[in-house]
Amino acid sequence: MARTLTILAGSALLVLTVGISLLSPAGMDGMQEGFVTPIMAFEFVRSPAEVYNLFALSVSKNSEAVATCTELGSTTSYRITALDAINQMDSAYILAYTAFIVFLAQLRFGTDGNRGILNAVWVLAVVALIFDILENIALLGITEALGYCLVWSQQQNGPAIIQDWVSLLIPFTHIKWFAIPGAFLLMSRSPLPERKWAQRFRYLSVGSAILALLLLFVGIFYRPFVIEGMALFVGLCFLAGFLETLFNKSLRADTLR
């Protein structure tokens, strides 16, 4: 049963990944140096100025000393709509990858594996889910504030609101991205699968988790290219886990308890 559920969750992840890729805004300039994926650039903004650049928004001070945008152009509106759509679809994506980690861990550890480590993997999966939801709330809060930039005022101080959301977004994002490869690394303590190809994909999954964690640490101090590399290795964790499951047909411990 665990093998079947893992394959179903992995298949859902693949479909949702394609869907998110199709929603990604095309020709998006203004991303931070070294970023090539709009949603990753958005998740890792560190200041209101980076938000304005990302959404092609020109902001200046008005007579009340509160910054306002000169216009809410079609490019800005398009990017807000596209990234909001991605974040809304991400709700399903969060559930899919959490289920995948939970079922894959059950499959790998089986009924006789180390229950303490298995529980720790499940805790990290839940941590990733919680902080990914909080991250989405922050991202949607930023785009909501951008949407009424023409009427920012002392009472509706958009720049201050965006700064507050960015301050929350930074820890939310880093905790989420730590928990996911952390869960895959803990799963390296489970018994090796019986088939050689499944073993190779297990090693790929563990190696990708280690590299993702290392790049995430480096990315705290230096973001260009490093963060995109980290996300690539996290993706490889999932892909390798999915392929390991497909090739590991002979596992006996494939039932949920």
pLDDT digits (tens, 9 = 90+) for 112-129: 778 899 999 999 999 999
Does residue 251 register a pLDDT over 50?
no
pLDDT of residue 250: 55
Angle, alpha carbons 166-237-174 (nearest 5°): 15
Bridge pairing between strands 59-61 and 67-69: antiparallel
pLDDT of residue 245: 94
In percent, the amount of the chain with pLDDT more than 70 equals: 94
Averaged pLDDT of the chain: 90
Three-class DSSP category at 190: coil
pLDDT of residue 175: 98
- Structural domain total, the chain: 1
What is the Cα–Cα distance from 253 to 256, expressed in whole angstroms?
Answer: 9
Inter-residue contact 109 to 101 (CB < 8 Å): no
Is 198 inside any structural domain?
yes
End-to-end CA distance of the chain: 10
Dihedral sign (CA 193, 199, 203, 208): negative
Does residue 28 register a pLDDT over 70?
yes
Does residue 203 register a pLDDT over 90?
yes
pLDDT of residue 253: 45
Is 79 inside any structural domain?
yes
Average pLDDT for 10-33: 93
Task: Tell the residue number behind the tokens 């994926």, with chain if given.
Answer: 37
What is the Cα–Cα distance from 39 to 28, expressed in whole angstroms?
Answer: 11
For residue 165, give the amino acid letter: W
257 confidence band (pLDDT: 50, 70, 90): very low
Is 257 inside any structural domain?
no
144 confidence band (pLDDT: 50, 70, 90): very high
Is 254 inside any structural domain?
no
pLDDT of residue 153: 74
209 confidence band (pLDDT: 50, 70, 90): very high
Is 182 inside any structural domain?
yes
Does residue 108 register a pLDDT over 90?
yes
User: Could you tell me which residue, 28 or 250, shows the higher pLDDT?
Assistant: 28
Domain encompassing residue 42:
2-247
Is 228 inside any structural domain?
yes
Q: Which of 24, 176, 177 is nearest to 86 (CA)?
A: 24
Is 74 inside any structural domain?
yes
Inter-residue contact 227 to 40 (CB < 8 Å): yes
For residue 102, give the amino acid letter: V
What is the Cα–Cα distance from 69 to 77, expressed in whole angstroms?
Answer: 13
pLDDT of residue 242: 97
- From the number of C-beta atoms within 10 Å of its C-beta (0-12, 13-18, 19+), residue 179 rates as buried
In DSSP notation, 45-98 reads --SHHHHHHHTT--EEE-TTS-EEES---HHHHHHHHHHHHHHHHHHHHHHHHH
Is 64 inside any structural domain?
yes
